[in-house]
Amino acid sequence: VEDNGIIPNEFSMAQNYPNPFNPSTTIQFVVPETGRYSLKVYNIIGEEVATLINEQLASGLHKVNFDASRLASGMYIYRLSGSNVNISKKMILMK
């Protein structure tokens, strides 16, 4: 996780890059206030397959690398949740 000192005024989560990916991708998001956040990955039927973050984060820009080398090809959902936020996006793992 990386914090570059930017102080935003709203939540946002970018599309992962690259997408489709094999075997790793980067997820970038912005939180405007310090708080407890989680970033989790789910398979298409809703089963949690990875927890990337589950901790207190400072406000600012954060980047997380996701290594999916142990997962099967397919579509996955990544979800940021925490203090006043719940954002989900799709990504595709192609092996």
pTM for the structure as a whole? 0.89
The candidate with the shortest Cα–Cα distance to 27, out of 56, 58, 50, is 50
Distance CA 62, CA 31 (A): 8
Distance CA 59, CA 38 (A): 14
Run means of pLDDT, 10 residues per run, the chain, 95 residues:
63 95 96 94 97 94 95 97 93 95
